[in-house]
Chain A
Amino acid sequence: MNRRLLWPAVVLALLLLLNLLFTPGFLSIEVKDGHFYGSLIDILRFGAPLVLVSLGMTLVIATGGIDLSVGSVVAISGALACLAISEGTGVLAAVAVAVAVALVLGAFNGFLVAVVGIQPIVATLILMVAGRGLAQLITDGQIITVTDANFKVIGGGYLLMLPFGILLALVVLAATVFLTRRLALGLLIESVGGNAEASRLAGLRSRGILITVYAFAALCAGIAGVMVASNVSSADGNNAGLWIELDAILAVVIGGTLLTGGRFSLGGTVLGALVIQTLTTTIYSIGVPPETTLLFKALVVAAVCLLQSTAFRSKVFPQRERPVARPATTKDTTEVAR
């Protein structure tokens, strides 16, 4: 297995095992009413928005940037979709408007970063602060409730026996993997993240690539926003997508993509997002008081980040460096030799 994916996979497996100890039937999946049911499906379904946002975040982080505004974009797009539907617009048109506005907001971020040359963390901070206000402006500070059955499908419905949200996340994942791994885009993103100036000198249009990734991140956030709003059949400008940017950044970091940019791992990000979602589910299912969710999150985050930090590993396990990079069979011999 890819070494960068090892720790997040181990943590995910441990979390699932822990659940199995407390809830014996945790891993079982049943078919009820023609749909799949089970805790694993729930984790995937509730984790779908986070997976989406994290996918966009991965590409942004791969260019050496960061996007703090995704949470606000989630709120704005959910609010827009619900507002449009409550005023009688068709579901498809409403969703299209919401996602299109998200795309524009992302392009605005990208413009600030790529053309004006503002640090990403600052440029997206603007929309993070102002966007939350905009979302509340759209909903007029209220919670807009919608009762459209078609709209409900996006976040709460089923297709091919699976929750629609999971399929949507899978489609976006597949598209992202195709765009970045089968086409040259991924390589270009990594080279901009590795050294923006060198890539420009090598003839890459780094501006276009930067704007694209920020627009893509906002697009993913927009879809996630519609999904969140649809799942609860309402838009809450104040709380929708609150802190999801932090969870998404965490998912990316847990997945082994460095915040400094360069190489990225989409698989790692998905694992990271699932780790975070599973952690939340685990806390509920093993009966730890839900108030302590954040405490556990802090500990897991600290542990995973420390394990991934080369400085930490070389200080705490000095003699264990390097030999592990070989195939698993040689690992045993080195362990014995030690």
Chain B
Amino acid sequence: MTALTGAVVPRKYLPVLVTAGLFAAMFVAGGARYEGFFSTQVVLNVFIDNAFLLVVAVGMTFVILTGGIDLSVGSMVALATMVAAVLLNAGWPPVAVIVVVLLIGAGLGLGMGCMIHFFEIQPFIATLAGMFLARGLCYTIGTDSIPITDPTFTAAAQTQIGLGGGLWISPSVLIAVAVVGVAAYVLHQTRFGRTVYATGGNEQSARLMGLPVARTKLGVYTISGFCSALGGLLLAFYMLSGYGLHAVGLELDAIAAVVIGGTLLTGGSGFLIGTVLGVLILGLIQTVISFQGTLSSWWTKIFVGLLLGVFILLQRVITARKK
């Protein structure tokens, strides 16, 4: 069977195709089983509920493609909601708040990138320190949930953009889709994107080829920090509050989405569309569980873990064949 698909489509697309097939199968199976599942709005709701995760996972894709990892994203998201809430309550204009939050995210990301590149600290440890730092900053700002009452933010939370036929999406979905579009362009059409793949494939070779590895590594962690902050803003739109306990464990969801999307954790191979599908699958699992009604929330974790296992085995088979 793989020989057959290998003849029709290049093998590098195989993991993404499997993910897409799985998504379609889950959707059809859900539709056959549950009343009212088989509708476009269900898919749109997955986007609406997971817009922030999508943005975060996009940033994570860049980092993982270079062979690194970013554990700090969940805490960064929480920090972004917290800073936004506090500044808005202090009377700052929303635009200034958004700019400051994004700058903080990108700045912290750049800082971790510097630790990783210049001081040769493993990404795992450096971003772990970043995770503690961001979460710690949240709790230092405040331990309670801070409500956001700013009109711009509430408007962003409540606006429904109609797509005709009774379908609608939230502004956050537009932002997330725009981020995906820009990221896909950067990753697949620009010199920076090629360098990201080259660095992940073999950092030393990339350096010997004269590619700007340093700039690229700093770049991907900055992008990840920026995306986390943006994801945090989207979460703030969604939740309308800033809280230090928002998005606990989000880094795992983001990593899982990227892996399920067919990106190799060793770096150098994967596509952004895979990450989008990965996020959709995670969202669909939650939708199925809520439609089922009798399954408890922890089944989400078990299913996600199983799926991870299946996809990792699949990747293993594919890479083993390549040799």
Residues of A within 8 A of B (CB): 66, 116-119, 121-123, 125-134, 136-137, 140-141, 237, 246, 249-250, 253, 259-260, 289, 291-299, 301-302, 305-306, 309-312, 315
Contact = CB atoms under 8 A, between A and B. Distances in A.
Q: Which secondary structure characterizes the binding site on chain B?
A: helix
Contact of A315 (B118, B265, B300): B118
A295 B133 contact: yes
A259 B125 contact: yes
Given A118-B313, A305-B121, 10 more contacts: A121-B69, A127-B305, A133-B304, A136-B296, A136-B297, A141-B298, A237-B298, A289-B140, A295-B137, A311-B119
A66 B312 CA distance: 17
Contacts of A312: 118-121
Contacts of B118: 311-312, 315
Interface stretch (B174-182, B198-206, B252-260): B252-260
A119 B266 contact: yes
Interface string B6-41: 000000000000000000000000000000000000
B217 interface: no
* Chain B CB within 10 Å, residue with most, of A259, A299, A301: A301
Contacts of A131: 305
Contact of A133 (B124, B136, B143, B302): B302
Contact of B252 (A129, A253, A294): A129
B308 interface: yes
A118 B301 contact: no
B308 A298 contact: no
A26 B299 CA distance: 46
Nearest to B141: A291
B265 A309 contact: no
Contacts of B256: 125, 129
8 contacts: A116-B313, A126-B305, A126-B308, A133-B300, A141-B298, A291-B143, A298-B133, A306-B115
A116 B315 CA distance: 11
Given A259-B125, A309-B121, A133 B69 contact: no
B259 A122 contact: yes
Interface in B90-135: 115, 118-122, 124-126, 128-133, 135
B119 A309 contact: yes
A250 B132 CA distance: 12
B316 interface: yes
| Shortest beta-carbon contacts, A-B, top 8 | A130-B305, A295-B136, A133-B301, A294-B136, A291-B139, A298-B133, A136-B298, A298-B132
